Amino acid sequence: MAELIGADMAALPQTLYLVFAFLLGLVIGSFLNVLILRLPRQMQREFEIACKEAAGEPAEAPVSRWFGLDFLIHPGSHCPSCGHAIRAWENIPVLSWLLLRARCSACGAPIGVRYPLVELATGLLTLALVYRFGVSWHTLALCLLVWGLIALAVIDFDEQLLPDQLTLPLLWLGLLTHLDNPDALHDAVIGAVAGYLSLWLVFQLFRLLTGREGMGYGDFKLFALFGAWLGWQMLPLVILLASLSGALIGVALILLRGRDRQIPIPFGPYLVMGGLIALFWGAQLNQAYLQLAGLA
């Protein structure tokens, strides 16, 4: 009995870390919902202001506070249908959506299932990171990466846009995480360059052959981001997983939902999917491939 109690006490800190990671992920997921909704709108507003200024028309530039991130704070969370200010108990991740039965408490307008899904996915992925990599500063950096990737994937799905405001800081952070390991930093720099140039070359070749643009520059930067974090060795696996998932889901959308084949399908979410799989299981998948090919 004493041994069992001792084992339970030894396991308690790890369990607490995992519970805290999951709860923190839920809260971050709630913030990501705001970011996903408001960042593209803010970018559109800034673009319109820049166009008016270039045309010599009067344009009222927004007053920037909080390093230009005040659009995330003001206005406060509210119902887009009736403007009802979201109260604290209505803003509890996942739980409030269930308690409200997916409807605004004031006007009854439906609340999309995406909100709890983003919160739940963020919580589960944060939990998985802490479980897989332990509690460390490197894990915290990985959490920042994954949180940013979730936002990028959903924004690209909605808007076919991968904002530099998210992609570039994550790319630089990936390089910085390797500063204490010269070999890893070497692989990361090559990975960032190879990731960008490889998709850029595919883009140029596709445009030369078809006269159309097959992807955006944001995809190049996102692939470079994975090269910076995972090293150049993981890039083939990431692009293979992204291409497979994109092909399967794209065909499913066409067959099940009758999606127009001429409508472009954003590649960012599939790159994110491939990158996350490589982050968690990339070494094992590469090793399995080498063994299957008789190279290991």
- The per-residue pLDDT for range 149-188, each reduced to its tens digit, is 999 999 999 999 999 999 999 999 999 999 999 999 999 9
The rounded distance, in Å, linking the Cα atoms of 248 and 123 is 26
Mean pLDDT of the chain: 87
* Residue 6 to residues 1, 11, 12, 134, Cα–Cα distance (Å): 9, 9, 10, 21
39-56 mean pLDDT: 84
Confidence label for 1 from pLDDT (cuts 50, 70 and 90): very low
List pLDDT tens digits, range 78-99.
888 887 888 888 889 999 999 8
The rounded distance, in Å, linking the Cα atoms of 129 and 146 is 9
pLDDT of residue 3: 45
* 0.85 surpassed by pTM: yes
Q: Which residue has the higher pLDDT, 255 or 94?
A: 94
Taking a C-beta distance cutoff of 8 angstroms, is the pair 266, 160 a contact?
yes
Structure tokens, 262: 């001429």
Q: Which residue has the higher pLDDT, 289 or 37?
A: 37
The rounded distance, in Å, linking the Cα atoms of 223 and 195 is 5
pLDDT of residue 262: 61
